[in-house]
A = this chain, B = another copy of it.
Amino acid sequence: MIKGTFLDEISHDIPHQNWGRKEWDEDFRHMKQIGIEMVILIRSGYRKWITYSSDVLIKEMGAYQPSIDLVKLFLELSEKYGMLFYFGLYDSGKYWTTGQYEKEVEINKAVIDEVWARYGQYKAFKGWYISQEISRKTNEIVSLYASLGHYCKSVSGGLTTMISPYIDGVKNISQYTSKTSRPNCVSLDQHKKDWDDIFKGIKGAVDIVAFQDGHVEYDELIDFLRINKEIAEANGLECWTNTETFDRDMPIKFLPIKWEKLRLKLELAKQAGIENAITFEFSHFMSPQSAYLQAGHLYNRYQEYVREQSEKQTVICEADKP
């Protein structure tokens, strides 16, 4: 089921919980408890806000000096709890969104060098997350992914690389409008064509693709999941799902998802043959210590479900015995 979660500590849109080391330690314990084995720092920085005291980003981007080294903290906790840590690249919030792809690559190469030199010795450091999230194909994004993926691998001895794109569906809508859906969106065919092209271009540079599962109607999801898996595997990528644990259908953007919706999405992924899920994200939307108390109840519902599933599994295995 859910084996990984993002850590959204430089957030675009989710209000911050203001946790210290004590709360983070407790949260890793909660994650472990429900089977989460990997954590993915969603981005190491966004514009001027950064997760570690980066000489590169302070000098080149004028980033603000953070008061805590979150990369170190998360690596230490990953080692303490036996989790894999994926490092999310820097998102300038300006270069790649205004056509300056090369600058986005260049600043990230310096970040990758710096981070690997500083944190590469941690055993928990197991992969890279390319944080520039996209939905539709452009030639530039393909080469951005390819350049960054290859560079991560070349520096780190071939560690795993991951992306988590979204589908340009009915719920792909700015979090800064109050609407929750829109009329025009990508067709299944166009999505397939776009992503088949992208995968061809990033093959070898990116190992895992985990599409966000919240931008299409629940009804449409199964078809997209199947297509995603088909074209990813045809191009040699592993296909996971990023099963979102927040609710995109509500006027408050964003609170924890209704358990029935999460359950449906997990079962659709299973039906599509997708075995691995990560989620965006545990600490706000699923944690017993989340500021959103609905999250703790979601944690309980999910645990009951996992238990129920594993009991079913046991029964099936028993039945299989000669």
CB distance from A127 to the nearest CB of B (A): 26
Q: Is A69 an interface residue (CB 8 A)?
A: no
Interface range on chain A (Cβ under 8 Å from partner): 35 or more
From B20, B23, B66, B256, give the contact of A304 (CB < 8 A): B20
Within 8 Å of chain B (Cβ to Cβ): is A15? yes
Q: Are B253 and A18 in contact (CB under 8 A)?
A: no
In-complex Cβ contact of A15 among B15, B18, B19, B252 (8 A)? B252
The answer to whether B301 touches A18, judged by C-beta atoms less than 8 angstroms apart, is yes
Q: Is the CB of B260 within 8 A of A67?
A: yes
Assess whether A313 is interfacial by the CB under 8 Å rule: no
Q: Which of B13, B252, B297 contacts A18 (CB 8 A)?
A: B297
The interface residues of chain B lying within 8 Å CB-to-CB of A11 are 258
A1 in the interface, Cβ–Cβ < 8 Å? no
Give the chain B neighbours of A179 by CB distance below 8 A. Answer: 176-177
Asked if A122 lies at the interface with its beta carbon under 8 angstroms from chain B, I say: no
Select which of B17, B175, B294 is within 8 A of A251 by beta carbon: B175
Chain B residues contacting A49 (CB-CB under 8 Å) are 260
Knowing A180-B176, A291-B292, A291-B294 are in contact, say whether A66-B253 is a contact too (CB < 8 A): no
Which of B14, B177, B258, B300 makes the CB contact (< 8 A) with A20?
A: B300
Given A49-B260, A253-B251, A294 and B66 contact (CB-CB distance below 8 Å): no
- Report if A294-B175 is in contact (Cβ < 8 Å); known contacts: A260-B49, A260-B66: no
- Whether A67 contacts B263 by the Cβ 8 Å rule is yes
> Is residue A310 within 8 Å, beta carbon to beta carbon, of the partner chain?
no
Contact between A255 and B15, CB atoms less than 8 A apart: yes
Whether A297 contacts B180 by the Cβ 8 Å rule is no
Q: Is A178 part of the binding interface, using a Cβ–Cβ cutoff of 8 Å?
A: yes
B residues near A86, Cβ cutoff 8 Å: none
Task: Please give the distance in Å from A216's CB to the nearest CB on chain B.
Answer: 14
A16 touches B (CB below 8 Å): yes
- Residue A101 interfacial (CB < 8 Å): no
Which residues in A have some Cβ–Cβ distance to B below 8 Å?
A: 11, 13-20, 23, 48-49, 62, 64, 66-67, 175-180, 218-219, 247, 250-260, 263-264, 290-294, 297-298, 300-301, 304-305
CB–CB B250/A15 < 8 A? yes
Query: Are B294 and A259 within 8 A (Cβ)?
Result: no
Q: Is the CB of A294 within 8 A of B16?
A: yes
Q: When chains A and B are docked, how far (Å) is the Cα of A298 from the Cα of B15?
A: 12
Q: A15-B258, A49-B260 are in contact. List 10 more A-B contacts (CB 8 A).
A: A13-B250, A16-B256, A16-B257, A17-B293, A18-B297, A20-B301, A20-B304, A67-B263, A178-B178, A251-B253
Q: Which of B15, B178, B259, B291 contacts A176 (CB 8 A)?
A: B178
Asked if B260 and A20 make an inter-chain contact with CB atoms under 8 angstroms apart, the answer reads: no
Known: A13-B250, A64-B264, A251-B175. A256 touches B297 (CB 8 A): no
List, sorted by A's number, 6 A–B pairs whose CB atoms are closer than 8 Å.
A13-B251, A16-B256, A18-B294, A64-B260, A176-B179, A178-B178
